[in-house]
Amino acid sequence: MPPKFADPIFECKRISTMALNSEEQEKIVHAINVAENETSGEIRVVIENHCPDEVHDRATYYFAKLGMHKTALKNGVLIYIALEDHKFSIIGDKGIHQRVESDFWNSTKDLMVAEFRMDHIVEGLVKGIEHAGKQLAKFFPREHDDINELPNDIVFGDR
């Protein structure tokens, strides 16, 4: 099971995942695609309205459910957000966790929270994706024979 990294509570005004229009969703998926073009790592985003458990437990549940622990190099990163509960968690598999600097998870959290507090949910997710993608590219650069091990779409958990 991946270790706990960042479980901040944030304030925002957005009240529903339904508020993410198709353009906003495309922006998030585009950020994932761009990040993964530079790395063999995998990034997934899960969005829910409510988190029925502790936020880290819920993120860990999705990490396993989405098969992120099955990546060849153990280099998956999951960003989980519960919009109405104002919570999110960033977790990474052991391959990436062992290589990033000790403040990586908190610095990623801080970038995201700064945007979330201004009600820039999409921008916060994109910044988190970009930041994680840079670290994944540094430690797990894309190889010529790299395959995309996991889908790049957004998972909407409680629809």
Contact status, residue 113 vs residue 14, Cβ threshold 8 Å: no
119 vs 96: CA distance, rounded Å: 29
**pTM of this prediction?**
0.88
Per-residue confidence (pLDDT) for residue 4, from 0 to 100: 47
User: pLDDT tens across 95-147, in order?
Assistant: 988 898 888 888 999 999 999 988 899 999 999 999 999 999 999 998 887 77
The residues, any chain, with a CB within 8 Å of residue 123's CB and separated by 6 or more, are 115
User: pLDDT tens across 39-74, in order?
Assistant: 988 999 999 989 998 999 999 999 999 999 988 889
Q: Is 81 left (phi over 0), alpha (psi -120 to 50) or beta?
A: beta
Domains of the chain in sequence order: 17-142+151-156 (3.10.310.50)
Per-residue confidence (pLDDT) for residue 3, from 0 to 100: 47
Per-residue confidence (pLDDT) for residue 13, from 0 to 100: 53
